[in-house]
Amino acid sequence: MGGNIKLIIAFTILLCIGLVSSANPSFGVFKINEDIEIVQLCYINGTSCDFCNITSIDYPNGTRAINEVEMTKRNSDFNYTFNKSNVLGEYRINGYCGYEADVRKPFVASFDVTQSGAEKINEGEGITLSLAVLSMIIIAIIFFTAAVKIPSTTFKIILGGTSMTIFVISILFILVIMTELLGGYINLIEGYSYFWMVMKVILSISVLGLLLFAGYVSFMYWKKHRGLID
4-13, 195-204, 205-214: segment of lowest average pLDDT: 4-13
What is the side-by-side strand order in the sheet with 72-74? 36-41, 77-82, 72-74
pTM: 0.50
Q: Which residues have CB under 8 Å from 103's CB, separation 6+?
A: 44
- In this structure, are 12 and 31 located in the same domain? no
Beta bridge partners of residue 211, listed in sequence order: none
Q: How far apart are CA 176 and CA 41, in angstroms?
A: 37
pLDDT in tens, 146-177: 888 877 777 777 778 788 888 777 777 776 66
pLDDT in tens, 64-80: 999 999 999 988 789 99
Mean pLDDT value across residues 174-193: 54
56: alpha, beta or left? (left if phi > 0; alpha if psi -120 to 50)? beta
- In this structure, are 169 and 74 located in the same domain? no
Q: How far apart are CA 93 and CA 40, in angstroms?
A: 11
- In this structure, are 76 and 169 located in the same domain? no
- In this structure, are 109 and 124 located in the same domain? no
Name the band, by pLDDT with cuts 50, 70 and 90, for residue 29: confident
Per-residue pLDDT at 17: 42
Q: Report yes or no: 58 and 65 within 8 Å, Cβ to Cβ.
A: yes
pLDDT surpassing 50 at residue 19: no
Residue among 83, 2, 69 at smallest CA distance from 40 = 69
Beta bridge partners of residue 51, listed in sequence order: 98
pLDDT in tens, 88-120: 888 999 999 988 877 888 999 999 887 767 666
Q: Is residue 209 part of a domain?
A: yes
Q: Is residue 110 part of a domain?
A: yes
Mean pLDDT value across residues 36-52: 87
Q: Which of 87, 114, 141 is the last residue of a domain?
A: 114
Q: How far apart are CA 7 and CA 134, in angstroms?
A: 11
Residues in the chain: 230
**For residue 131, how many other CB atoms are within 10 A of its CB?**
13
pLDDT surpassing 60 at residue 57: yes
Mean pLDDT value across residues 23-28: 72
pLDDT surpassing 60 at residue 137: yes
Query: Higher model confidence: residue 58 or residue 180?
Result: 58
| Rg of the chain (C-alpha set) | 27
Q: Is residue 230 part of a domain?
A: no
Q: Which of 60, 86, 114 is the last residue of a domain?
A: 114
CATH number of the domain encompassing residue 105: 2.60.40.10
Q: Report yes or no: 221 and 150 within 8 Å, Cβ to Cβ.
A: no
Per-residue pLDDT at 64: 94
pLDDT surpassing 90 at residue 82: yes
In this structure, is the dihedral angle defined by the CA atoms of residues 112, 115, 116 and 119, taken in order, positive or negative?
Answer: negative
Q: Into how many domains does the chain fold?
A: 2
- In this structure, are 63 and 177 located in the same domain? no
